[in-house]
Each structure stands twice: as structure tokens, then as C-alpha cells.
Amino acid sequence: MATESVAAGRGDFVSNLGRIYTIYTGGFIAFIILMAILSALGVPNRIIGYMFVGFTILIYAVIGILSRTMQVGEYYVAGRRVPAIYNGMATGADWMSGASFVGMAGTLYLLGYDGLAFVLGWTGGYVLVAILVAPYLRKFGAYTVPDFLSARYGGNLARFIGVIVLFSCSFTYVVAQIYATGIISARFLGLDFNVAVYVGLAGILVCSMLGGMRAVTWTQVAQYIVLIIAYLIPAIWMSTIKTGIPIPQLMQGQALQGIAALEAAQGIAVGHATPFSHGGYNALNYFLLILCLMVGTASLPHVLMRYFTTPSVREARVSVAWSLLFIFILYFTAPAYAAFAKWTMLDLVASGLTPENIADKASWMFRWAAADNSLVQICGKAAIDAAAVAAACGEAGVTNIAFANINLNADMIVLATPEMAGMPYVISGLVAAGGLAAALSTADGLLLAIANALSHDIYYKMIDQNAPTARRLVVSRVLLVLVAIAAAYVASTKPADILAMVSWAFSLAAAGLFPALVLGVWWKRANSPGAIAGMIAGFGVCLYYLLGTRYGAVGFYEMWSGLSTATPEAIAKFEELKAAYAAAAPDAQAAAWAALDKHAQSIANWWGVKNLSAAAFGLPVGFLVMYVVSRLTKEPSSELQNFIEELRIPRGNTLMEEKSA
């Protein structure tokens, strides 16, 4: 197998990377062709699905086991020997989560132009990573992001706050990844969701536990290759069928014209390409979301720590560029994917879809609706079978099903597109393997970021500075397993707000870490009290806005009603519901409160800013507090100023030298 030489000498492996991963890619394509042949020979779909998922996880496990290590430098930063281009690929897999792979095109399908805020936000942030942060952290030579905060802002308090921010933004994110692996395994392997979550967990641990960053790096490269192939093939397929030209990104223009014509025929007023009009994204929220996602990208510890692994500062900069190129390949395909899927659906509806012929034309809908009621709804009810559709549409007085009558869940669109467009089952299996690769690779990076912060920053630096190497690595692995099990447990309870929480991670990271990281490099006058106050204030304001508008909406609205953009009608409705709650009998109180709370969530805001963009407040507060407090307190010592001078210059050794094993 292509991965055997991982076991051979390090230098040997690194110098042969190109050959190894070329053979690996060829092997994967051959595997897809083999599956297609087996499928044509009549092997059942379920077996094909098992083989896709089983074979890819087996490869990751083999790489993970071959890359095991007992050296601190290898475990935390892969020995700092990862070439820029491979680190870029690994960052791509690290970055593109289950949500990007599974949910992004679906969001674009539903939100049209306004969904592009995610595409812009999740790519443009790398500009900030490259110019403001990553090369300097690489020069410093940290193992973790809190390491840098501690050295720059003298002491464990800054380190500890950094760990808290890191933990709160990474943990919810990793829960979402394990949740995604559970969903995919449940749908394609037919496992029970609770079992599927723990199967996903095993897949994650086997990649990261034995080899730390070193193993995660080489599996992430392998996972990137799987996920990008799995994403491109269906898009190329649809483009070829619809337009005859296999370049979906280019032919998207034709798809947009097709969509516009069919939307007009369907009487849909707000078209796919119309800006600032879908899902409550006015121009203000559109631009604030872009800003929060971009700044969050440049602050998320599991992304920043990937640049600790390059051999030099110069390679770190080039590596950011490669990362973005590899991410770009998926993100500029996503809008095309969405456009072709939407065009296909509009075509289906325009061909005269009725409750009578839906079983012939789109039976795939029934399978998804059966898996989960909320995934496919027609005329407002779950489309479990033709009879259910006929009943629901009969009730609504619909004879010809229109586009507006069909309600697809954003998270199923990518996974269901192969069936929607009539592709063979092999493509569905491939897409499942790709979604799994995306979720597993991100989960690995996040788990490692959390476990490293706990073992390196809390245990080694704050509790036992004399811990021997072997014990540090054991502690690290035990913590990794514990955090992973905790995350899998939370995922198995199916927390309702899981997707919202992922978006929150960006705002929390941006508000909590960005000012301290950027000013730490670019402003010598920034000092310890300023950074600590700035991190607490920025993170605090952001958290207050997130939690207040979501979980304490009634109280939040009453306190800040002057800043809310509620219309007079909405205010009247709020007063009415509040009176109803006050007057409700004891047994009706819960329902009255739920109605009041639900309405309050729609009006609890400052100047109409969505809760997704909470860093819009936390970020400026963080910068301002950090500036003012730094100015009011003593400037950093001359040793620290020299330290910053050294940080800014690529030449020379890393500043934090670790005694290695």
C-alpha cells in the first residue's frame, strides 16, 4: 500500500512524499472504478457503501499507526518538517469541516447570493492569517497558541484565558464534527445513530492518538485527496449532463441563466442571484458575517497550529497560500454545485410534478424523508411516500407541485444530489466517504488543539514543569481520549443548536484571541494587563450577546429594547405575548413562555445584528480595551521589547526552544 514507507526513515518519507501521494491518489481512483464495476455486477448498494467507508477509514488508520511517535517535537508539531505544499493540503482538510462539505452547497442552494458570505468569509480570512499572524507564531516556535500568549504577555494568566477561549470555541466545533460523522454513517451504513457516533469516534482516535500532530498531518493529506475528488465528481457530472461541458465552475453561468428563466416561470420574485434578500441577510448582516468569519479564521487555534509544523518562516507564508489554493478548489465549486442542483430541481418541477407521478420522478425524496422527517417536506409535511404527499397537497389545495412547495433541508442537498441527478450509487458512496473524510480530518485537528492545550499548557506549564517527556505524552493521549469521549457523548444527545454553535466558534475566537495575537506582534506597547483585560472584555461581550439573544431573549430585549430594530407590530406582539404569559394558568405557562421567548429571539438584538455575527461587538471592544489599558499601564520591559524585535525577523532560531526527549 502507498503508506508503507511512512514506517521507513523520516527523511526518506519526506523526500518521497510526491511519489507516495501520487500512488495513493491513483489507488483511490482505481478503487472507485472497482466499486463501479462491482456495482454493475450486481453487488448490493449497502455493501458498496460499507466498502467505501471501511476502506478509507482503514487507510487513515494505517497511516495513523505507522506515524506513531514518542518524541515531543514530533507529537506536537510533526518535527517541523512538513513541506509548505503538503501542510497546505493538510490545512485544507483541517479547515473544511463536515459542515463545509455537507452543508455549504445546501446553504447556497437555499440562500442564493446571500450564502456567498460564507464562501467569502471562509476564504478571505487566510489573507489575515498570512500577513498578520502565522509567520510570527512560527518564528516564535510555539507548540500551542496559549504558549505564545504566555510568552508575550508574561505569565500564566494570559495563558489560562487563552486556553478557556480555545476550549470554548473548539469543543462545540468538534461536537459538530462527530455529529456529522454519526449522520453520515447512519444514513449510508444503516447503523443506529448512537452506535454510528462511537464508530466515528474510533475513526478519529486511531488517526490522532498514537502519532499526535505527525499522524494527523499525514492522514489529513490523505483525507484532503479523498474529499476533493468526492466533491468534484458529482459537480462535473451534473455540468456534463446539463451543458455537455465538464467544467462546472465555468458552466455555472449557464446554470444561473437557466435558474433565472425557470424561477420567472414559477413566479418566484426573489431570484437566486438577487442580493441581500434571503434568510434575513440584509447588507449589514451580510458584511458583518463576512468580517466575523474572516477574523475568526485568523484566530482559530486548530488552524494556526498547522503553521507551527513548517520547516521555516518562509515556508509558513507560502504554506498559507497553498492552503488557500486547496480550500479555494472546493469553495469555488460549491456555488456551481448549488446552482446545478437548483437547476435540476427547477427542471424537475417544470416538467409537471404532481402527487401522482412523484413516485416515478423523484422517489429519492421518500428515502430521505423516511430517514428524518425534517429533511424533505412537500406541502408542509414530510414526504414519506406518494400517499403522504397526495394527502398533504390535497389538504393545501395543490395539484401541481411548485418549487415553493418543496422544502429541502440544507444539510441533505450535497449528499442527495447524486440521487437527485440520477447518478449511479457508486457516486453516493464516494460522496459519503468524502463527507466522512472532511468531518474526521477537522475533528482530528480540533481534538489535538484541545488536548495539547490541556496537556502542554495546563498540565506541563502550569502544574508540573518537571514532568518527564514520557509522562507528558501519556497525559496528552489520555486527555485526548477523554475529550473525544466527552464530545461523542454530547454529540449522541443530538443537541439542537449544533450548527449555530459552530458559527459561534468563529465569533468567540475572533473576539477572544484576535486582538491579543495581532497587537502582540504589531504593537510593541501592548502589555500584559492590556491583553488580559482585552481578551476578557472582547470574549465577555461576544459571549453575552450570543447567549443573551439566544437563551435569554426576553430579558435581553427588555434591557436593550432601545437598541432593537423591532418594528412597531413586533413590539405590540411582544407586549401581547407577555401579557398572555402573565395571565396564563399554571399549566399553560410553559407554552405561553415558549411563544414569548420564540418571538423575543427575533427582536432581541443591537441594531439588528444577527447573533451569528456577535464578534461585530466583541472585536472592537477587545481592541479598544486592550489599547486603553495598555496605554494606562507600564510599557513592556526592554527584554520583552527585544523579544518582539526578534519575533519580527525570520532569521535565527525559534524563540521558545524545547528540551526534547
Which residues of this protein are in contact with another protein, per CB under 8 A?
113, 116, 119-120, 123-124, 126-128, 130-132, 135, 249-250, 252-257, 273, 275, 283, 286-287, 290-291, 294, 312-314, 317-318, 320-321, 324-325, 328, 331-332, 335-336, 522, 645, 648-651
| Pick 634 or 651: Cβ nearer another protein | 651
| Dist. CA 298–CA 324, nearest whole Å | 12
What is the end-to-end Cα distance of the chain in Å, rounded? Answer: 31
Which residues share a beta bridge with 407? 377
| Dist. CA 530–CA 149, nearest whole Å | 12
In the complex, minimum distance from the CB of residue 75 to another protein, in angstroms, rounded to a whole number:
24
Largest CA-CA distance found in the chain, in angstroms, rounded: 80
| Pick 212 or 258: Cβ nearer another protein | 258
307-321 in b/e form (b: 16+ CB < 10 A) is: bbbbbbbebbbbbbe
| Pick 282 or 469: Cβ nearer another protein | 282
Task: Give yes or no for a contact between 279 and 111, defined as CB atoms under 8 angstroms apart.
Answer: yes
| Pick 108 or 210: Cβ nearer another protein | 108
Which residues share a beta bridge with 257? none
Return the HEC string of 407-445: EECHHHHHHHHHHHCCCCHHHHHHHHHHHHHHHHHHHHH
In the complex, minimum distance from the CB of residue 139 to another protein, in angstroms, rounded to a whole number:
9
C-alpha cell at 218: 499525514
| Pick 294 or 554: Cβ nearer another protein | 294
In the complex, minimum distance from the CB of residue 110 to another protein, in angstroms, rounded to a whole number:
15
In the complex, minimum distance from the CB of residue 275 to another protein, in angstroms, rounded to a whole number:
5
DSSP state of 622: H
| Dist. CA 304–CA 156, nearest whole Å | 20
In the complex, minimum distance from the CB of residue 127 to another protein, in angstroms, rounded to a whole number:
5
Q: Which amino acid is at 341?
A: A
| Pick 8 or 649: Cβ nearer another protein | 649
| Dist. CA 300–CA 506, nearest whole Å | 7
Task: Give yes or no for a contact between 575 and 557, defined as CB atoms under 8 angstroms apart.
Answer: no
In the complex, minimum distance from the CB of residue 154 to another protein, in angstroms, rounded to a whole number:
23
- The full DSSP string for 211-247 is THHHHHHHHHHHHHHHHHHHHHHHHHHHHHHHHS-S-
C-alpha cell at 273: 442571484
| Pick 123 or 208: Cβ nearer another protein | 123
In the complex, minimum distance from the CB of residue 308 to another protein, in angstroms, rounded to a whole number:
16
Which residues share a beta bridge with 376? 408
In the complex, minimum distance from the CB of residue 256 to another protein, in angstroms, rounded to a whole number:
6
C-alpha cell at 297: 479564521
Task: Give yes or no for a contact between 618 and 548, defined as CB atoms under 8 angstroms apart.
Answer: no
C-alpha cell at 555: 430579558
CA atoms within 13 A of residue 490's CA, in its CB half-sphere? 17
| Dist. CA 89–CA 20, nearest whole Å | 14
| Pick 290 or 406: Cβ nearer another protein | 290
In the complex, minimum distance from the CB of residue 228 to another protein, in angstroms, rounded to a whole number:
15
| Pick 61 or 313: Cβ nearer another protein | 313
Give me the phi and psi of 309, to 5 degrees please. -95, -5
In the complex, minimum distance from the CB of residue 340 to another protein, in angstroms, rounded to a whole number:
13
| Pick 88 or 355: Cβ nearer another protein | 88
By the 10 Å C-beta count (0-12 exposed, 13-18 middle, 19+ buried), 473 is classed as buried
In the complex, minimum distance from the CB of residue 94 to another protein, in angstroms, rounded to a whole number:
17
| Pick 123 or 223: Cβ nearer another protein | 123
